[in-house]
Every structure is written in C-alpha cells, then in structure tokens.
A and B are shown apart, each in its own frame.
Chain A
Amino acid sequence: MPRRMTMGSMNTSPRLGVGWSTHFDRPWPVRILYRRLRYAYRAPSLFAEQMIGAGATISFLRFDERLLAEDLDGTQMALADAVDFLYLSTHGENKSAAYKVALHGADWSPASSGIGAAGPVIAVFDTCDLVDFSDANWMDSWSQGVGAALRLILGFAGPATVNQSASLRGLAFAENLQAGMPIAPSWLSAVQQTSLPQTDRAVAIAIGDDDDDAEYILQQSTLSNPPPPRTADTPSIRAEVCP
C-alpha cells in the first residue's frame, strides 16, 4: 500500500528557482543548430508570477549569460539545492538516454551532476526531449545519478513547442497546483490545455523508494503534501504521459 507522506517544508512557502536561455553561444558551425528561443522567458516567468502571488518565494532567477552550468552542477555553486521547485526553459537534448540542458554558454547534465542533493523536490525541464522512450534504458540516468531530495521531474517526451501561446503552460501549471490538483497531473494537464491538438507530449517522472512510493508521488503529491526526501539507496522510477 502507498504510504502517506509526511508534510515537507514546501507547503508553507515553496521556494522557487527559475531560469531560461534565449540565445546560445556555441562554436561554428554547430551554433546554427542552436536556434534562438525568443520566448523561453515566458513560461518560467508566468509560473513564477502566479506562484509568488500565492505566497511562494524566489530563491534565484537567472537567464542567458547569467545562468551558468557551473552554478548548477556544483562546480561553483549548487543553486538548485536551495529550492523546492526548479523551472528551467531552454533547449534540451537526449542522446543515449542521457539528458542535457543547453544553457547559454555550455550544456548541463542534471542527472550526472547529482541534482537533488538537498533540492529541488520538483524539477521542471521545459525543454524538448527530457525522455526518449524509444531508448529502452531511458530511466538509467535518473535512477543512478540524482540526489534524495528530487522526487518528481516534469518535462516532455519529444519536442516542446516554444512560442507565446504555448508558454502559457507556465501559468496553467501554477494555477492547477494552487487549485489542489496533484503536482504531476497539474503539469500534464497544463501542457494539454495550452498545446495545439495532437502535438506536444508532456511527461512526469517520479523517483520513489519503491514502486508504491513512486506511484504515490506520481498520483497524489500536492503542493500542500510534497514528498519528503527519499530514504532507499536504490530508487524506483515511474513515469506517466499525457496520452
């Protein structure tokens, strides 16, 4: 039976870390493949505004040349350790079951840099290709690399539309959370609510102590009932998509 989660600290005032990358500094000729994401700022900004209006606090807000891989991977700082919610919007790549986030100057591989040592509890990677389900080993990096605090990873299985209209998913996600909808369904429905029909596929990945725990996180964890840090050494991974 799924066990009841104890209350975390997040229910009083969730701490947010938000960031985005709109343009990318890469050597030629690869640079031409990193298309500018003019509207990448919108989804995290809309999310943050709506959440702050309901009592959340901002721990960091960084973008473009000020959002550095070394401030996220622990080389200089571990900014994400100090937040409950991390929301990043930029390009994402998934090759050989390894997901990386393209920041302005360099890529960041969240799983291999041990994201979740102390935070975040929930990470939203508003990018393409968080998961490639055609790779049978898709869950390996998330089951091996991440810290005990990280319990829910939200993103896309495939492309993620970036434009003004689709970026309203940041607002939709926050609004669903505040209405009491569980966290994973809040994300899955937010993407559905703001996407063109039959296009973007949202995904939620739960990291549990065992299968029941992961299932509980996926279905029932809410803003007021967030999951506490994982205790088992070997995590169990469950995923859900919007059909």
Chain B
Amino acid sequence: MTWNELPARDIESWVAQIQSSRLPPANYKLAGRDEVLGRLKESSQSAEVRVRDDSFTLERRQWVSAESGELQRIVSFAQHLGKWIDNRILKPGRGIGRPLVGEFPKDIESASVSSWESSIEDVPSVGPGGRVTVYVSHGMTLADITTRVRTESMESRWRTPGEIANQFERITRGEFLETHVFGAFGYYEASKYERQSYLRTAFVFIIDRPTSREGPSWRTSFAVAATESDGIPPDAGLGSAGGDCL
C-alpha cells in the first residue's frame, strides 16, 4: 500500500479520482469465534495456533533455537496460514524507506521482523491488521496472523466524494496549522486487540505535524468509510479508528 500526500483543502478530488478508477469493492461480514475454529479444523496445523478471545485473529508464540531450522518453518507456516485462512494475496511489507518516517543510521540495529501485507481483489489492507507478521527475539518467535476470515459478501455503493470530504472536515475541524495530510485507500482491518464484525473499504488519513522550530510534532490518524451497504451501520468495521481522533 502507498501513502499519498494530499492537499488538506481538496480531499474531495483525491477521493473522486480513486472512485472513478474502479467499481465499489464488496464489503464483508467477518467470522465469529466458532466459524474461525471451524475453518481451522480444515487445516492439519490448527493445533499450532491460538485463536485470540478478543479479536478471533490467530497467533503463535514459540521458543526456538536459531540453529534448528524451526524459525524458517514458523515463518513459512504463518505466511501459508495467513493466505489460506481467508484466501488472501500476501506481499512483503515495505520495511525500508517508509515515507512517513525518517531513515536511521546504519550503525543502529534493526529488530528482526518479517511482514506481509494482504490484499483482496487488488485492494490492499490499510489498518494495523490484515497482515502476517513474525517477530523474532532471542529465541522467542511471535507470529501474528490478522487476516480475518470473511463469511459473507455484501454489495456496496460509493459514498459521494463530498460526503467523505465533509466527514474529513468535521473530524479535523480545519486544524491544519503546519500539518501534512496523507491518505490511503483499502480494506480497513484493525489490530489483533480489537474485535471486528465487518470488513469494509475506507479512506484512511494521517495528519502529521512534523518537527519544526517551535512546538512539538504530533501525528494522528482516522478512517472514513468509503462505501455503504444495506444492512450495516455506516461506521461498522472501522473499530476505534472510525471515531473522532482530535
């Protein structure tokens, strides 16, 4: 996925441009605990992961010896399960050269993290979830698989660019002094610490006040529903990212 720097006073044009390039993607109902367990039973490796009680996402913590080859097996396992559990496409996450953070000196160590971002029908995931990440730290591995299981597809309609721009302005209240605005479009998927009942497309915005001569920098972000579907509330699926962040 890519963050685009946007003109804060003309979000509407960016939204319209994205909407004109494709049909509105489907929204989805997500599986509950029993459905996730049922899906896992189809896999011979179901015993190797834990289904979290809060979000029904999958995780595996394990101590491994670096020499055993077990680490590579866990990475492959997590990657396979992240794809298989919800028929997603996974691509390596971009670890270096991230546009919203600075580079760091070569003598600074970097944590051992392998990450893959998922997409559905060419629409990327844009939240803290929707990815497979394996952390390795001195013998302990933690594999997070936050590609949630979809159970039902729902047709959707684009919300108008004006509606989305109005919601953006209501949330930010015009607070643009020395700030930059970044945006991305995709399926918003929450972290493994939040329960989510629907998976829907969203426009995700970051408001960034970078370091300047006076006053502290700050950053906040929020998600705005891109589409609407019959039978689901307008903000369903956006979790705590859908609220007023300022």
What residues make up the interface of A, taking CB atoms closer than 8 Å to B?
30, 32-39, 91-94, 102, 127-129, 132-134, 157-166, 168, 171-172, 176, 179-182, 185, 188-189, 192-201, 218-220, 238-243
Contacts and interface: CB of A to CB of B under 8 A. Distances in A.
Contacts of B140: 179-182, 185
Main secondary structure of the interface of B (DSSP, over half): loop
Nearest to B108: A239
A199 B111 contact: no
B96 A243 contact: yes
Q: Can you list the 8 inter-chain pairs with the closest CB atoms, starting with the nearest?
A: A33-B215, A185-B137, A164-B240, A159-B219, A91-B216, A198-B98, A243-B95, A240-B109
B8 interface: no
A185 B215 contact: no
Given A35-B209, A197-B126, A133 B216 contact: no
A200 B101 contact: yes
A194 B129 CA distance: 8
B195 interface: no
A163 B105 contact: no
Contacts of A219: 137-138
A165 B240 contact: yes
A182 B204 CA distance: 33
A93 B216 contact: yes
B241 interface: yes
A129 B216 contact: yes
Contact of B218 (A159, A164, A181, A199): A159
A123 B137 CA distance: 20
A168 B178 CA distance: 27
Contact of A164 (B127, B177, B245): B245
B210 A240 contact: no
B214 A160 contact: no
A35 B108 contact: no
B219 A189 contact: no
A181 B137 contact: yes
Interface string B77-101: 0000000000000000111101111
A165 B239 CA distance: 8
Contacts of B99: 198
Given A193-B133, A197-B117, A239-B109, 4 more contacts: A35-B218, A91-B216, A197-B94, A201-B101
B61 interface: yes
B221 A163 contact: yes
B151 to A, nearest CB: 24
B110 interface: yes
A243 B110 contact: yes
Contacts of B214: 30, 33
